[in-house]
Amino acid sequence: MTSTQQTTALTVGAIVVAAALGIAWAKRSAEAGGSVLPISRPGVASLTSGKGTKIRFSDKPVPVPAFSLQDLDGKTITPESLKGKVVLINFWATWCGPCREEIPELIALQEHYKDQLVVLGLSVDERPAADVKAFAAAQSMNYPVAIADMTLQKAFGGISAVPATFVVNPDGGIVQRHVGLLEPEMTEQEVRVLSHLSSAADVELVPDTGQVLIANAAYATEIPGVDLTHVTPDQKEAILKRLNTEKCTCGCDRTLAQCRIEDPSCQTSLPAAKKVAAEVTGGK
């Protein structure tokens, strides 16, 4: 074996060992519930540094709701058709200022990470689909756009504000939800981490009881505005069970627990939740 061949063999061996160590390290870290260390893949440069960026992913990914819809070009989209890549499901509207502001950033991400990412724009516009398609064309949107009717919006827990973006891992699990204007650096690093690309961001798996994904409200042990510190374990279990099954009547179409977590200022869910607690404890 020549000196060049030996050097090449050692280099390849080092890469293989480093990859194996990276996989094991990330696996151990994830199992421990701590930071998730991304596995480095060469060849895709980062648009942002990632330094100082903090990313939080739910420790209980929620499967993307079942749906089948046609995008504005007539192509069928289902959760199954999106698996294998990171997906940013972006609820937006043509009339929404922040939505318009983040469109160029989503276009740039889709172009740069075309092999790792799918951006799916779901318009909540009530105007004709042709108008939305014309708007998308004028903006040179390079990702699929479809109309999200109320049924689809409810399937995602209700879209009370736009933009709202759900971050989906390649296995089809929602790991984060952002309401409001996206932070470009954070969004890119989320894509990189979930794609197993190198990232300098600080990534953490967080115990999710609804603060990350409202669908995880069933795991909540604390309900905003409801004091459960003086109840017995059995009473607490009974209260939480009712709050996670009984619907709020404010019109949000959520359970009382979901409404309290999603909108702590709701003046309908608060007295209703307190009433449930009082009924379970006998008013104590």
- The CA-based angle 68-73-74, given to 5 degrees, is 40
Q: Mind listing the pLDDT tens digit for each residue in 183-198?
A: 999 999 999 999 999 9
Active site residues: 96, 99
Rounded CA-CA distance 204/3 in Å is: 44
Q: Mind listing the pLDDT tens digit for each residue in 65-78?
A: 999 999 999 999 99
Rounded CA-CA distance 156/161 in Å is: 12
Token duo for residue 283: 């008013």
The model's confidence at residue 57, banded by pLDDT at 50, 70 and 90, is very high
Region 236-250 average pLDDT: 90
What pLDDT score does 43 carry? 64
What pLDDT score does 284 carry? 64
The answer to whether the peptide bond before residue 61 is cis (omega within 30 degrees of 0) is no
Alpha helices in 91-232 (DSSP H): 97-112, 129-138, 150-155, 184-194
Domain ranges for the chain: 1-32, 54-206, 220-281
Residue 203, pLDDT above cutoff 50: yes
Q: Which residues contact 5 (CB under 8 A, 6 or more apart)?
A: none
Q: Which residues contact 36 (CB under 8 A, 6 or more apart)?
A: 26, 29, 30, 57, 193, 203, 204, 205
Rounded CA-CA distance 100/107 in Å is: 11
How far is C-alpha 59 from the chain's CA centre? 11
Residue 28, pLDDT above cutoff 60: no
| % pLDDT > 70, the chain | 85
Identify the weakest region by mean pLDDT among 180-184, 203-207, 250-254. 250-254
Q: Which residue has the tokens 């879209």?
A: 159
Strand, helix or coil for residue 167: strand
Q: Is 253 left (phi over 0), alpha (psi -120 to 50) or beta?
A: left
CB atoms within 10 A of CB 226: 19
Q: Mind listing the pLDDT tens digit for each residue in 78-117?
A: 999 999 999 999 999 999 988 999 999 999 999 999 999 9
Strand, helix or coil for residue 95: coil
Query: What is the fold, at CATH topology level, of the domain defined by 54-206?
Result: Glutaredoxin (3.40.30)
Region 56-69 average pLDDT: 93
**Residues 251, 257, 258, 262: is their CA dihedral positive or negative?**
positive
Surface-to-core class of residue 253, CB atoms within 10 Å of its CB (0-12 exposed, 13-18 middle, 19+ buried):
middle
What pLDDT score does 103 carry? 97
